[in-house]
Amino acid sequence: MPALKKIALTITSAALLSGFVLSPAAAADKDKSDDKQPKPPSTMSSLGGEQLGKAGTQVNLGPGAPVLPKKLSGRSWIVADAESGDVLAAHNSHWRLPPASTLKMLFADTVLPALQPTTLAHKVTENELSGVGEGSSLVGIKEDHTYTVHDLWLGVFLRSGNDAVHVLSEMYGGVQKTVDAMQAHAEELQALDTVVVSPDGYDAPRQVSSAYDLTLIARSGMQKKDFREYAATASADFPGEKKKGKKRESFEISNTNRLITGDIGVDPYQGIAGVKNGYTTHAGNTFTGVAERNGRVLLVTVMNPSAEESHAVYKEAAHLLDWGFAASGKVAPVGQLVPPRSLDTGTGIGGKGATPAAGAVQGPGGQAKATHASASNGSSGVGTALAIIGGLLVVLAAAVFLVNRRWPIAGRTRGTESDAVTAETKDAEETEADEGAGKAAKNGEDGKSGEDGKGGKDETEGAGATASAAPTDKS
């Protein structure tokens, strides 16, 4: 055999052999990688239905129903009808996992009704900020500066500011009292997978929730007018630093919920109306959202997707919402969102037809009445203002409303808020009166953005500040 042919045959044989040898090795490496992924517990709660207690994906497809989206990588997720409480599909929905800042929904649902009016002004002390965890996402609150409760809630909902959470917690009676109240409220909502340790969702030992619980919490929060308006606001002016001899300037803050504001690689979701996103080192990315389409309102929660792509948590949530709207009426529910304990009719059907929960706005004769966050001029995002009251959905007027692209909304300008401040807080009123210049304060733009470790920016991108130059947790 000629030498050249021998050489060619040798090369070909070596190539084929390497394929047979290396391919199983590569497969084995992939198996090892999959083995490293945490597995759901063998036993999980079956609250809401037996299927919800099973590991893996649960869906009951009927004739003509679309298949679930491919490549869903969340450790846990759920998509449910907000009105009926029907769970359309779920994946490890009772798996107890770190919630990150989605826990702020429970904080707001617990504390917001108690701190009224939102025009109340408060001067921040050093002690109120001392408990903020290292690496926290911050809105940029300064000690010895005055803010209204309204300002602080904007900091919570838009910038996920742990500094705002701690100030509001102190106003409520202290961090521990707030944590205890949140735990009690979770139990009232039958969010029984949830253990509260920190009010802001900052990583803490034993602090967990589940996709099922976070969806219950969001459903409860969306009953409240203020909650709905804050959750749907895209951007707002936030009070900056007060410098001697100068007017107090403000800087713009934007909602970190990318399905509201959009970002590179992710568009605002049509019909979105909130609710909350989160990220910490241990929780990964988490998200709970609510959206309306053709009169139907769905809730979705995704926890800790493993996909490497940017903004995976938002993309997977959007895919699940798309599927849910397409599948409505074509799938049998795999379970139900249960009602609060105080409203439980004993039917186990998600509280359908139950009376309004405490704090819900009612019209004449006790009929549930929803109000909405009005859009400002120049609004381009589409959303809905809705109330979900004891399983009864109320959507106002034409059913679809614009997301609040800018705060203040109609009828809630800073001027009217300042007028409502009492004489006891007149010094605070004078401090706040010069807000609204529209210029970005330097202290509000020098914060360091974090990364979620997967090529996507976490919720602190563009935040007013961070608690550490090298943050490890951003909740």
So which residues are the catalytic ones? Answer: 101, 104, 160
CB count within 10 Å of CB 277 equals 27
- Total residues found in the chain within this entry: 475
Q: Are 291 and 393 in contact (CB under 8 A)?
A: no
If DSSP codes are grouped into helix, strand and coil, which group holds residue 51? helix
Please state, in angstroms and rounded to a whole number, the distance separating the CA atoms of residues 290 and 301: 9
d(CA 431, CA 429): 5
C-alpha 375, offset from chain centre: 21
Cis bond before residue 364 (omega within 30° of 0): no
Ramachandran angles phi, psi of 95, nearest 5°: -70, 120
List, in order, residues 6 or more apart from 258 with CB less than 8 Å away: 266, 277, 311, 314
> Are β-strands 57-61 and 331-332 bridged in parallel, bridged antiparallel, or unpaired?
antiparallel
Measured between alpha carbons, how far is 143 from 396 in angstroms, rounded to an integer? 41
φ and ψ at residue 176, rounded to 5 degrees? -65, -40
Question: Among candidates 53, 99, 275, which has minimal Cα distance to 195?
Answer: 99
User: Which SS3 state, helix, strand or coil, does residue 185 take?
Assistant: helix
